[in-house]
Structure 1
């Protein structure tokens, strides 16, 4: 049963595959606390878990072992097959598209765009936090999605928690105000999928037969550059978990950090946690 004044979390998922534990880990903590969870995807299509994230026998190449327990595989299948993900918000229909400068009547269209973005920001006021779930899918439809960036910026301007996991951290590096185009994580401490964890081959995505070698960009290098000289990327390679809280950002490195990421989101919301892991 939901608690009175329960928190409301917006969870963004890729339509090209999310990693199961990176959803069910935080969801475990949200459900325990009676939080209301609302899901959103880029075009409103139902998201699905990446098959390897539901297979306990799948050996993760960089780690040389299974990263999915029987319990997590079962929980992922239960969520993936349930009605919870059946009707996500269509971000494309919700958040406007910025006009091209070459568009006819560009100035009027830009003014209309900013008015529409302000409306979305007002609608986002009902949410207490944002979570972007990782996996390979976000590389395709979240990392450079300007509509997703506008949602991130709205939470940032409202001073509300913004959490991301694995390759779901990439949109934080790319979400920038068009006035100065400076990274929003400049001067911040973050974690994310480290280079040692990247596949050398076999990076796959749902909804397509396309399988590539390594990911198209090394997230670690992008995060190192985006945080600047006064911030820092923390890979914590060799340590079992890596979750960094540098408010308003809560970032988790990869799959093993999913439950801890959810735990820290709760502590940020309920206990005033502002720094952790560095």
Structure 2
């Protein structure tokens, strides 16, 4: 799992980072199926957590489980640096969201190449919410990557409803379309929605995090 290291929204004092439920929901999907999970981020160490994701209304059962899981908490506090990670050592890669990825993972060469290495090796790549922003750098390295591919990610409408559209450099839906992706979303904002196109699996929003992981597990099976 590749997590963001970015904590700042633009033109504001508001903080962002990893949306904690988009990490914990997939993490326990993988752990409960007996997968070994390695955590990485551009800077290594503990990633910033979006404070909004820790509010009571955004807490999931997996968040509560995580609070009692010392092994998982230690892993999150000590993520590997991306330059220590090779696609050859893993079966798949998963990118959780939070607004952080649209700043750092979207521009990170190591992350972009990692995605291409997984796909070229016939290994799946999954991302949820703003996690698909990592595909932007991969598509810049290989412009054919997203051409005509069915994908989803946090929608323009959801960005508007979340009231952060003016605090980010671009909207993910627009950028994915500009790169040639065949973007789809749920009829209702914040409803769970997952797209799979070959080895690429994307989820739309926080509620899609677990189902995106389930789709990845099914593909690995």
- The two structures have a TM-score, normalised by structure 1, of 0.68
Residue pair 1:201, 1:213 contacting (<8 A) in 2 also: no
Residue 86 of structure 1, CA deviation: 2.6
The corresponding residue for 2:20 is 20
C-alpha offsets along residues 115-161 of structure 1, whole Å, 9 cap, x if unaligned?
xxxxx7xx422200001110011122111111111111110111110
The corresponding residue for 2:172 is 219
The structure with the greater share of residues assigned to helix is 2
Hey, what's the Cα distance between the residues in 1 that align with 2:110 and 2:4?
13
Residue 214 of structure 1, CA deviation: 3.7
Helix, strand or coil for the counterpart of 2:37? Answer: strand
Distance 1:213 1:201, change over 3 A: farther
Residue 29 of structure 1, CA deviation: 1.1
Hey, what's the Cα distance between the residues in 2 that align with 1:79 and 1:50?
20
Residue 237 of structure 1, CA deviation: 3.4
The corresponding residue for 1:44 is 44
Residue 134 of structure 2, aligned match among 171, 184, 187: 171
C-alpha offsets along residues 7-30 of structure 1, whole Å, 9 cap, x if unaligned?
xxxx10012321011111111210
Choose 1 or 2 for highest CA Rg. 1
The corresponding residue for 1:260 is 211
Hey, what's the Cα distance between the residues in 1 that align with 2:62 and 2:218?
23
Hey, what's the Cα distance between the residues in 2 that align with 1:258 and 1:221?
21
Hey, what's the Cα distance between the residues in 1 that align with 2:185 and 2:112?
24
Hey, what's the Cα distance between the residues in 2 that align with 1:38 and 1:141?
19
The corresponding residue for 1:187 is 148
Residue 71 of structure 1, CA deviation: 2.8
Residue 267 of structure 1, CA deviation: 0.4
Helix, strand or coil for the counterpart of 2:107? Answer: coil
Residue 91 of structure 2, aligned match among 113, 121, 128: 128
Residue 238 of structure 1, aligned match among 188, 194, 197: 188
The structure with the greater share of residues assigned to strand is 1
The gaps in structure 1 that reach 5 residues or longer are 1-10, 57-65, 95-119, 204-211, 271-278
C-alpha offsets along residues 69-94 of structure 1, whole Å, 9 cap, x if unaligned?
46344245456982121322112x43
Are 1:151 and 2:114 an aligned pair? yes
The corresponding residue for 2:10 is none
C-alpha offsets along residues 247-268 of structure 1, whole Å, 9 cap, x if unaligned?
2101000101111111111101
RMSD (Å), alpha carbons: 2.3
Helix, strand or coil for the counterpart of 2:202? Answer: strand
The gaps in structure 2 that reach 5 residues or longer are 7-16
Residue pair 1:220, 1:233 contacting (<8 A) in 2 also: yes
Are 1:248 and 2:192 an aligned pair? no
Hey, what's the Cα distance between the residues in 1 that align with 2:100 and 2:140?
24
Residue pair 2:96, 2:209 contacting (<8 A) in 1 also: no
Are 1:162 and 2:125 an aligned pair? yes
